Chains A and B, each alone.
Chain A
Amino acid sequence: MRLKCPLCGDRDRREFYYYGAEDYLRRPGEGAALTAWDDYLHNRDNPAGVVKDLWYHEAGCAQWLVVTRNTVTHAVSGVDLVAERKP
């Protein structure tokens, strides 16, 4: 598997660290209910199909990336910088 980093180009999967579903980007605000924190930290849609997840280009540009890919075929359809994400 190769990921196309927007800054570094096509790179071997081993250069990247996988963190988890992009749910991690939706951190509950201060004072949010405990259930919101539970959901954020633990619960996942976990679909068999297209997902967006968070990867870190550890051996490259050190940017956090949102990777759009298929969990059944391992096909990657998009890699975007978290830093350029629209809120």
Chain B
Amino acid sequence: MRYSGLKVITEGLRGNTGWTPAWRDPAPKPAYDAIIIGGGGHGLSTAFYLAKNHGLTNIAVLEKSHIGSGNIGRNTTIVRANYFLPGNSEFYSHSLKLWEGMEAELNYNVMHSQRGQIVLCHSDGQRDALARRGNAMINQGDDAILLDREGVRELLPYLDFEQTRFPIYGGLLHPRGGSARHDAVAWGYARGADQRGVDLIQNCEVTGIDIENGVVTGVQTTRGAIRAKKVGIIVAGRSSQVAAMAGMRLPIESHVLQAFVTEGLKPVIHHVVSFGMGHFYISQSDKGGLVFGGDLDFYASYASRGNLPMVEHVMEAGMTLMPMIGRAKVLRSWGGIMDMTPDGSPIIDKTHIDGLFIDCGWNYGGFKAVPASGWCMAHLMATGESHEVARKFRLDRFATGHLLDEEGTGSQHNLH
């Protein structure tokens, strides 16, 4: 079924009786040409682009819970292309272009809103670093505008410009940055993949990976064995467990990242704003809730909830930056499990097992990467070659010393 404004109106007049489910609920077949483990944003976009770009439609996405239950439905939805290092820069630039065409491509409203993202600076050194980053973004063909203090005040008059502890020196505005509705991205790719013949199999947990003589032959699941010549592991925070089924030990440590939302308010924060001191970032959803978050809880965790010290820290950082939010009531907080790598950059690569591929290590920045990760992983699985914008996301880069340490914080998993 094609969605359109006219369809919404006619269905409204007909009492909304004509809508059909957005995707089928098929039983698993005994064999597929390719299997994707994990029905998060990245697994779904990979399936979609395998079908759309490479004509591979006899494929299944196996999801242990329901579509959208993982990080794709838990993130704070920031979409940006403001990376600095060659390797990251071209990838996120490609991703942002795909975001800009996503709604037309999927015939789905993902509420992508390019409201502008502003990173603030609070010292001369930080300003110089932002100027350098802005130049890298412009060189990559994306947009960046360095704002002075008055430029920031014009856009964000509600910040505390009086305080002396972290004075606001200026900021870097990325006009094409913004946010989107996270669930809609999962649903849009799920529907698009389903329409092209992909089987989305929910409540189907992969419990084993079958390998014969170094070649993958299929997977074991809670709904039986399924054969396939190509298997992609795309399970975010659970990457270490699934890779262990194939005897692999990954450069990943899983950590919990929390996020928060307030009651709905009238429009007040019109951009995505990041504090340059103390990790804090905020935007306002279309429902009016202020959506914000901060840093990891800092110790390895698989609990999808965090601890109080980080709650306190995030609230303090928010109050330091914009005291006006102190009167809003926090409605909910939650956590998601992040696949942290030692350099903070992702992995899209083959493994030492023939036919087994892996896409993981998204740290806490994988939402913006959903389209390009799927695009590049599909390219890799279909052709056996890395896509040119993802060619540095190698699994062996830690062994060979080709790290992509965007933040320059060293090879400790929780510091990125």
Residues of A within 8 A of B (CB): 1, 12-14, 18-21, 34-35, 38-39, 41-48, 51, 53, 55, 71-74
Contacts and interface: CB of A to CB of B under 8 A. Distances in A.
A71 B302 contact: yes
A41 B341 CA distance: 11
- A19, A38, A42: residue with the most chain B Cβ atoms closer than 10 Å: A42
Contacts of B307: 1, 13, 74
A18 B398 contact: no
Instruction: Name the prevailing secondary structure of the B interface residues.
Output: mixed
Instruction: Name the prevailing secondary structure of the A interface residues.
Output: mixed
B412 interface: yes
A46 B301 CA distance: 9
Contacts of A45: 240, 244, 249
A71 B399 contact: no
Given A20-B412, A38-B399, A44 B299 contact: no
Given A21-B300, A43-B250, 4 more contacts: A12-B309, A41-B398, A45-B244, A74-B301
Contact of A53 (B299, B302, B303): B299
Nearest to A43: B249
Contacts of B254: 46, 48, 71
Nearest to B299: A18
Contacts of A47: 240-241
B252 A44 contact: yes
17 contacts: A12-B309, A18-B298, A20-B300, A35-B399, A39-B249, A41-B398, A42-B342, A44-B249, A44-B251, A45-B244, A46-B240, A47-B240, A47-B241, A71-B302, A72-B302, A74-B301, A74-B307
Nearest to A35: B399
Contacts of A41: 342, 398, 411
B302 A48 contact: yes
A14 B302 contact: no
Contact of B300 (A38, A39, A51): A51
A74 B303 contact: yes
B241 A48 contact: yes
Nearest to B413: A20
Given A38-B398, A53-B299, A72-B303, A46 B253 contact: yes
B256 to A, nearest CB: 9
Contacts of A53: 299-300
Contacts of A46: 240, 250, 252-254, 300
B300 A71 contact: yes
A-B pairs with lowest CB-CB distance, top 9: A46-B240, A42-B251, A38-B399, A48-B302, A18-B299, A42-B398, A42-B342, A43-B249, A71-B302
Interface string B228-245: 000000000010110010
B132 to A, nearest CB: 28
A20 B244 CA distance: 19
